[in-house]
Structure 1
Amino acid sequence: MGIINILDASVASKISAGEVVERPASVVKELIENSIDAGSKNIILEVKNAGKKLIKVTDDGCGMTKNDAVLCIERYATSKLRTIEDLNSLITLGFRGEALASISAVSKLQIVTRPRDQSIGTLVEVWGGEIIDVRDTGCKEGTTVTVKDLFYNTPARLKFLKRDSIEFNNIYNIFYKLMLSHPEISFKLISDDKLKLSSTGDGNLLNCIKTIWGQEIADHMIEVKAQDRAVKVTGYISDRSVIRRSKNDILFFVNKRCIINKALYAAVLDVYKQYLTTGTYPVIVLNIDIDPRMIDVNIHPTKLELKFSDEHGIYGAMYNALNNALNPKSEVNRPLTSIFNINDFEKQGNVEIETKYEQVKLKETDIRDINELENEINIAVDEVINEGMIFYDDDIKYLGQVLSTYLLCEKDNELYIIDQHAAHERILYEKYIKEFKNNRISSQRLLIPTIIELKNDEKNIVIENINLFNTLGYEIDDFGETAIAIRAVPIFFDQTQARLFIDECVAYLSSDSNRTSIDEMLFKKACKAAVKANDSLTEKEARELIKSLLSCENPYNCPHGRPTIVRFTKSDMDKMFKRVI
């Protein structure tokens, strides 16, 4: 008896996503998820030309009968759902019955399958959505789905695919996340006849983490095992020493489905904010086991976003699990709400999250209205940026450094406040630009090369942009499957800064395939090498910084556009203190 059925129109209309196949990675995701749902213990993915020429997924799952093999390419044909109520107990990765129909419509698809209780298999061949052949065939138990010439009949879509290295990185990212979600399954990824990634299927998540991130990261992972009411959290998180420049390594799985959720990200940032600086992130690989009735996975076409019935409750459970793992003796337990505004949390880019602080109660007569004062300060800032008044070092009176961050100067009854980090960024950026234009960015050779282990996709990005790194003062060599050797670094960097800059560049280059701006890389290099807020400067160092800033072509803004100098006239300050009206 077949297990695949066509959904009733009333059910299909409630779950239909109208999803189309966008790129090879989306095909890979759907096919491997089907293999997982089929109970496979071994899954092999083979691709050629980053999936444009060939995508082949072979598994040893339950297989399909001939009727099911033919039926599965119909739209809304699924074995995982029959009524809309079944969504409440859904534990499979797929359920809409749209994937194979969409894939077969834009490729040359072949399915070879045999269920475990039959001796003869079935071959089904579909080109452009039309069945070409259905026949009996000899094959092993399980299913092999082969997708050839993706988008052969839709050249417009084919034209919008990226170059092979980028499309393969997309496939790799999908593949390793599925591998992490199911360490009990043996996975193999073969690209152009070369093994790129594999797992043993021994159920050891830490071994999968080591395979993907390398031994160095694996050695700094902390196991998490926590139970909070109906929520069970298991997996690994990095300790305080691991610093990543992208939040792409924060991975959550809910009932073994990779998902994005604002409350979970907020919990991570709340716990790690005391250990990591802004713009840095840990490595997180956690699975949340929860009753399917407490979640909704039918809110996004790719099923990537997920909602919990109790967002604050899941935040508390995650916060406790992370906090107790990092601080076993901590007495802090489950805050009622995140200090981050969960609704404002964005999924992409470097996240800016508004922090809620308890307001100090002051009498109206104690301090000026903050909005009024802020408006006056903004006017003063605009004057500096817009007027562009040049002033010179020899007629400036240096007053000192405040808060180990700002330099105070006086000239002609005007007060100038200089942000030392923004100012040094501008100085270094213009220096690097000149060196780059003259092909002489300074570098220093390392006595002992630094070996860095990277994820496969990260290494591909470095190797692909090796000439770019050379222009920035690096000397980098390929050093095995997932490692690079750094033999020279920019002169202003120590080895730690050089490593962090590599991480930042990789995160930047992977964020958008077309972004390889030298300007942006030099921004980042200047930011990394500049003095920081809370760095104490001697008077000599401060005066030299001011002198160098005033010799810049644009001394008024850092490379990212923030002001370096704010001016307050005597009149501005008289108004602030209501000395004049």
Structure 2
Amino acid sequence: MSSIRILPQEVANRIAAGEVIERPASVVKELVENALDAGARRIVIQVAQGGRRLIQVSDDGSGMDRDDAMLCLEAHATSKIHESADIDCIRTLGFRGEALPSIASVSRFQLQTRRHEANSGTEVLVENGSLRDVRECGCAPGTNVRVSHLFANLPARRKFLQSVETENAHVHETVLLQALSHPGTAFDLNLDDREVLHVAGTEDTASRLGMLMGRDVLAATIPVDYEEGGIRVTGFAAKPGLTRSSRREQRVFVNGRPAAADSVYFGIRDAYHTMVMKGRYPPVVLHLELAPERVDVNVHPAKREVRFREDRLVGQVVAAALRRALRELAGEMVAVPQPPLAAGRSGGRFPDLQLTAGPEQPSLPLAPALTGWPSLAGVVPGPAPVAAPPTVAADATAPDGPPPAGSERAGPAPEEDVSAQADPGTAAALTGRAVRGSAGESRPDAATPPARGVSPSAATREEIRGLRVLGTLNQLYVVAEGSSGLVLIDQHAAHERILFERILRAAREADGQQQPLLLAVTVDLGPEDAAFLSRHIEHFQRLGFGLEPFGGNTFLVTGVPVHFPSVNVGGLLRDILDELRRSPTGAPRPDEVRIAQSACKHAVKNERTLADKELRQLLDELARAEMPYTCPHGRPVMINLPHAEIERRFGRQV
């Protein structure tokens, strides 16, 4: 007798439920997606005891007739696809036909549905996978699903559910994501008879963002709208300085589906990597639109992750979209006229850089001559106007490493601190914890603690130039008065940003130029690294390396990029190899990493008191920087203390 048997349908459904229905939030997700696929314009979700006692989702979608109401509870019964080829061009959120039978197999399940043109509806009752009743009923057009006693027949699964508060938080995050991705649909969420979310349908994504996260969040974000290579990226991204301690608030949607994709996170990191500190993540809400055949949504049981056919291109487009938005932000901060430049050594601007001088600029001897950069003399131009975004190409620069592994995507987590640069109130806004306001719109939960400090983008470039220097604090911070209040500037971070942009611009202009080595250097690599380098040797040559095989796993280096004349050749090669192998989105940015390190090394140090003329020159140079609000490592350059805050501290304002 054969030991292999075909499992009964009830057992198969329970196994499928283990993959699809992880927790009550999974039930909410599947039911809401069905409602959206049915064209619902309003969805009402009610949850009791974290989903243990009740989950109810009602919609005004197309509804079903009696036959479809019965068929939808059969395994792999769906109206979304009909043949294998349909999976490659799927545009609906659901398509497998697994969710409803899986939910019905682990709960008491009640379905009421009615088509708009019908006079009556159909009610179906199922208990733990067994059909109990099918009857005609009176109900509103659309579909109403009640799920109660979830996992009652699976005590082990029920035991692993977390607290009511935690399960409610997961439900809230699930509904929040769907509301962000479908602004045209109205959503109501009630948790234990308490309305926690109420948003009306709108075609304006900015309005939906304000409804869900608070109007003040719009002041802390910039709009994103970019298209390249058949991929469109829209949404909103945080201004420099606003960061979180996890990636949880980097919300990504692909063709209307909340999804996680490493290539998108690489693109975000690439765009911000010289503006945020290591281990910090800028909040974003990004919508990617591309042909469905270019993305595989069938790679995860719960469809949380997607896979792109062109991972590298997607990451590059996301990075380009964010870079352009950030550059436009910098451009809006008032374009400062640039003085004409002449060849020669700097007589006025940071002579340690040996840069060309603008007219009538006083001397600013901030540090000894910069050693190890002889090729920069007379090369580095003064600050340039904000450039147009680069065209995305197959070999475009990409992120410098993979995002940290972890469970950041897994859903709601305890409230993290917002970076100290964030605007007051922004922390509450970005949590997405919304409650109904007096006007019917969602507002941030008043219980959420406000952020500390002020966004570095609070000062425009003109305001930076117009600051009146009052003195210095601890020989490190410049104390200045501006039109909006008191401003503290980290002189080391400010000088570091100026040096970084100058040297980086010179490196970009010298792209591919080579500095010959007086004596060639041999570099021995392991077999895997040697094989990888052989396949990508042209990439290294484009970077400016003189490189050729020297037998076995050894390579002969005869030249290095002109902007790295003094460098450990073997270490640099291995660093770039590691970054190339980690990054799925293209070439790394080893130049920016090392230039940032050099800028930090040569910037004016702590405990160095600058003269008044030097302080004035530092502010003028900072105002001309492309991104004057953070150093290359993401630390804030300035903190603004507004007049209102000062008055509040002195009790002059309630």
TM score, norm. by length of structure 2: 0.53
The answer as to whether partners of 2:216 and 2:425 remain within 8 angstroms in 1 is no
Deviation by residue 1:388-414 (Cα, 9 ceiling, x = unmatched): xxxxxxxxxxxxxxxxxxxxxxxxxxx
How far apart are the structure 2 equivalents of 1:66 and 1:341?
A: 56
Higher relative contact order (CA 8 A, sep 6+): 2
The answer as to whether partners of 1:34 and 1:93 remain within 8 angstroms in 2 is yes
Which aligned runs of 4 or more in structure 1 are off by greater than 6 angstroms? 456-460, 531-535
How far apart are the structure 1 equivalents of 2:299 and 2:202?
A: 33
How far apart are the structure 2 equivalents of 1:189 and 1:277?
A: 36
How far apart are the structure 2 equivalents of 1:187 and 1:173?
A: 13
Alignment of 1:419-430 (within 5 A): none
Offset of residue 242 of structure 1: 2.0
- For the pair 1:258 / 2:258, whether they are aligned, the reply is yes
Alignment of 1:414-493 (within 5 A): 454=428, 482-484=445-447
Offset of residue 283 of structure 1: 1.8
The answer as to whether partners of 1:452 and 1:483 remain within 8 angstroms in 2 is no
Alignment of 1:543-562 (within 5 A): none
Consecutive unaligned residues of structure 2, counting only runs of 5 or more, are 1-8, 329-385, 410-423, 435-442, 456-491, 494-599, 609-654
- For the pair 1:176 / 2:139, whether they are aligned, the reply is no
Deviation by residue 1:434-453 (Cα, 9 ceiling, x = unmatched): xxxxxxxxxxxxxxxx7665
Matched residue, 2:217: 217
Task: Tell me the amino acid that sits aligned with residue 316 of structure 1.
Answer: Q
Farther-moved stretch of structure 1 (238-247 vs 130-139): 238-247
- For the pair 1:35 / 2:93, whether they are aligned, the reply is no
Offset of residue 481 of structure 1: 5.7
Matched residue, 1:313: 313
How far apart are the structure 1 equivalents of 2:253 and 2:136?
A: 39
Matched residue, 1:141: 141
- For the pair 1:330 / 2:387, whether they are aligned, the reply is yes
Matched residue, 1:340: 399
SS at match of 2:303: coil
How far apart are the structure 2 equivalents of 1:338 and 1:20?
A: 38
How far apart are the structure 1 equivalents of 2:196 and 2:408?
A: 29
Matched residue, 1:4: none
The answer as to whether partners of 2:75 and 2:98 remain within 8 angstroms in 1 is yes
The answer as to whether partners of 1:18 and 1:301 remain within 8 angstroms in 2 is no
How far apart are the structure 1 equivalents of 2:78 and 2:180?
A: 25
SS at match of 2:288: strand
Deviation by residue 1:482-523 (Cα, 9 ceiling, x = unmatched): 124769x9xxxx7579xxxxxxxxxxxxxxxxxxxxxxxxxx
Identity score, percent: 34
SS at match of 1:77: coil
Task: Tell me the amino acid that sits aligned with residue 348 of structure 1.
Answer: G
75 and 346 in structure 1: CA distance in 2 versus 1, 3 angstrom threshold: farther
Alignment of 1:527-566 (within 5 A): none
Task: Tell me the amino acid that sits aligned with residue 152 of structure 2.
Answer: Y
265 and 76 in structure 1: CA distance in 2 versus 1, 3 angstrom threshold: same
Offset of residue 538 of structure 1: 5.5
The answer as to whether partners of 2:246 and 2:280 remain within 8 angstroms in 1 is yes
The answer as to whether partners of 1:114 and 1:140 remain within 8 angstroms in 2 is yes
Matched residue, 2:297: 297
How far apart are the structure 1 equivalents of 2:448 and 2:311?
A: 44
Task: Tell me the amino acid that sits aligned with residue 387 of structure 2.
Answer: S
The answer as to whether partners of 2:427 and 2:449 remain within 8 angstroms in 1 is no
Task: Tell me the amino acid that sits aligned with residue 173 of structure 2.
Answer: N
Matched residue, 2:636: none
How far apart are the structure 2 equivalents of 1:226 and 1:50?
A: 40
The answer as to whether partners of 2:233 and 2:287 remain within 8 angstroms in 1 is yes
486 and 173 in structure 1: CA distance in 2 versus 1, 3 angstrom threshold: closer
How far apart are the structure 2 equivalents of 1:112 and 1:277?
A: 52
- State the number of aligned residues: 371
Offset of residue 278 of structure 1: 1.1
Matched residue, 2:200: 200
Offset of residue 223 of structure 1: 1.5
311 and 182 in structure 1: CA distance in 2 versus 1, 3 angstrom threshold: same
Matched residue, 2:277: 277
How far apart are the structure 1 equivalents of 2:273 and 2:195?
A: 39
The answer as to whether partners of 1:216 and 1:453 remain within 8 angstroms in 2 is no
How far apart are the structure 1 equivalents of 2:289 and 2:322?
A: 15
Deviation by residue 1:82-117 (Cα, 9 ceiling, x = unmatched): 111101220000111111111001110000000122
SS at match of 1:152: coil
Offset of residue 134 of structure 1: 0.4
How far apart are the structure 1 equivalents of 2:266 and 2:426?
A: 30
Offset of residue 150 of structure 1: 0.7
456 and 113 in structure 1: CA distance in 2 versus 1, 3 angstrom threshold: farther
- For the pair 1:152 / 2:115, whether they are aligned, the reply is no
Matched residue, 2:528: none
Alignment of 1:486-505 (within 5 A): none
SS at match of 2:226: strand
Task: Tell me the amino acid that sits aligned with residue 334 of structure 1.
Answer: V
The answer as to whether partners of 1:266 and 1:338 remain within 8 angstroms in 2 is no
How far apart are the structure 1 equivalents of 2:449 and 2:313?
A: 45
TM score, norm. by length of structure 1: 0.59
How far apart are the structure 2 equivalents of 1:227 and 1:82?
A: 32
Matched residue, 1:235: 235
Consecutive unaligned residues of structure 1, counting only runs of 5 or more, are 1-8, 352-449, 461-479, 498-530, 540-581
The answer as to whether partners of 2:249 and 2:430 remain within 8 angstroms in 1 is no
